Structure 1
Amino acid sequence: MAEIVAAAAAVHAPQLLSRPPYEEIDKLDTSTDALHAFGKVVEDARPDAVVVIGIDHLETFWLEAVPAFTLVISEECDASYTKWRRRKKIHTSLAKDLLKGVIAQDFDLTYSQDAELGHAFLTPFEHILGDSEVPVIPLLVNTYLPPIPSPRRCYALGRAIARALADRPERIAVIASGGMSHFPGTARYTAPNYAFDRWLIQETAAGRYDDLLGLTPVNLDEVGESELVTWCVLLGMTGGELPGSLLSYQELSHHGHGVIQFVPGLPPAAEKPAEERLPRYGGHSFTQDDYVYYRFPEPSSLPLNRFLRQIITQDDARTAFAHDRDAAIAASGLGAEERAALAAEGFDQLVELGAHPLLALSAWQVVKNELAAAG
Structure 2
Amino acid sequence: MQEEKFDPAFSSTAKLDYAFGIPLTFLGIDLPVIPLYVNAYVPPQPRIERCYHLGQAIGRGLKALGKRAVVVASGGLSHFPGTDRYASPATKFDLKLMRELGTGNLRWLLSLDDRMLDKTGNIELRCWAVAAGMLGERVPDMVSFDPSWHHNYATFAWWSAQNGDTNPLHYPAIAPERVTLTDALHRIANDEAERARFSANRASFAAGLNLSPEETAALIAMDENAFTRLGVHPFVPFMARLQLEREE
Q: Give TM-score scaled by structure 1 length.
A: 0.41
Q: Name which of 16, 31, 39 aligns with 1:117.
A: 16
The alpha carbon displacement at 1:238 in A equals 1.3
Residues 62, 68 of structure 2: 8 Å contact kept: no
**Moved >3 Å (runs of 4+):** none
Q: Name which of 131, 135, 140 aligns with 1:244.
A: 140
Matched, 1:138 2:24: no
The alpha carbon displacement at 1:153 in A equals 0.7
Residues 150, 215 of structure 1: 8 Å contact kept: no
Matched, 1:168 2:58: no
The alpha carbon displacement at 1:169 in A equals 3.0
Matched, 1:194 2:79: no
* Distance (whole Å) between structure 2 residues aligned to residue 219 and residue 226 of structure 1: 9
**Correspondence 1:294-333 to 2 at 5 A:** none
Residues 244, 265 of structure 1: 8 Å contact kept: no
Q: Secondary structure at the match of 1:260?
A: strand
1:366 matched to which residue of 2? none
Gaps of 5+ in 1: 1-101, 267-375
After superposition, what is the alpha-carbon deviation per residue over 1:41-100, rounded to whole angstroms, capped at 9, x for unaligned? xxxxxxxxxxxxxxxxxxxxxxxxxxxxxxxxxxxxxxxxxxxxxxxxxxxxxxxxxxxx
Matched, 1:263 2:159: yes
Q: Secondary structure at the match of 1:207?
A: coil
Amino acid across the alignment from 1:104 = E
Q: Which has the higher contact order (CA 8 A, sep 6+)?
A: 1
Give the structure with the larger helix fraction: 2
Q: Secondary structure at the match of 1:174?
A: coil
* Distance (whole Å) between structure 2 residues aligned to residue 199 and residue 230 of structure 1: 18
1:278 matched to which residue of 2? none
- How many residues get paired? 162
Residues 104, 138 of structure 2: 8 Å contact kept: yes
Residues 180, 225 of structure 1: 8 Å contact kept: yes
Residues 180, 224 of structure 1: 8 Å contact kept: yes
Q: Return closer, same or farther for 1:247/1:264 CA change in 2, 3 Å cut-off.
A: same
Q: Secondary structure at the match of 2:34?
A: strand
Residues 181, 194 of structure 1: 8 Å contact kept: yes
Amino acid across the alignment from 1:142 = N
Q: What value does the CA root-mean-square deviation take over the aligned residues?
A: 1.7
Q: Secondary structure at the match of 1:255?
A: coil
The alpha carbon displacement at 1:167 in A equals 2.2
* Distance (whole Å) between structure 1 residues aligned to residue 160 and residue 87 of structure 2: 34
Residues 182, 225 of structure 1: 8 Å contact kept: yes
* Distance (whole Å) between structure 2 residues aligned to residue 206 and residue 244 of structure 1: 8
The alpha carbon displacement at 1:265 in A equals 6.6
Residues 201, 246 of structure 1: 8 Å contact kept: no
Residues 51, 130 of structure 2: 8 Å contact kept: yes
2:209 matched to which residue of 1? none
Gaps of 5+ in 2: 163-248
Q: Name which of 229, 244, 269 aligns with 2:126.
A: 229
* Distance (whole Å) between structure 2 residues aligned to residue 221 and residue 174 of structure 1: 25
Residues 205, 245 of structure 1: 8 Å contact kept: no
* Distance (whole Å) between structure 1 residues aligned to residue 116 and residue 141 of structure 2: 25
1:218 matched to which residue of 2? 115
1:106 matched to which residue of 2? 5
The alpha carbon displacement at 1:124 in A equals 1.1
After superposition, what is the alpha-carbon deviation per residue over 1:88-144, rounded to whole angstroms, capped at 9, x for unaligned? xxxxxxxxxxxxxx1112211111111112110010121112xx4311110000000
Residues 79, 152 of structure 2: 8 Å contact kept: yes
Aligned-pair identity in percent equals 40
* Distance (whole Å) between structure 1 residues aligned to residue 142 and residue 153 of structure 2: 11
Residues 141, 160 of structure 2: 8 Å contact kept: no
Residues 143, 229 of structure 1: 8 Å contact kept: yes
Q: Give TM-score scaled by structure 2 length.
A: 0.62
1:83 matched to which residue of 2? none
Amino acid across the alignment from 1:249 = F
Q: Return closer, same or farther for 1:116/1:199 CA change in 2, 3 Å cut-off.
A: same
The alpha carbon displacement at 1:209 in A equals 3.4
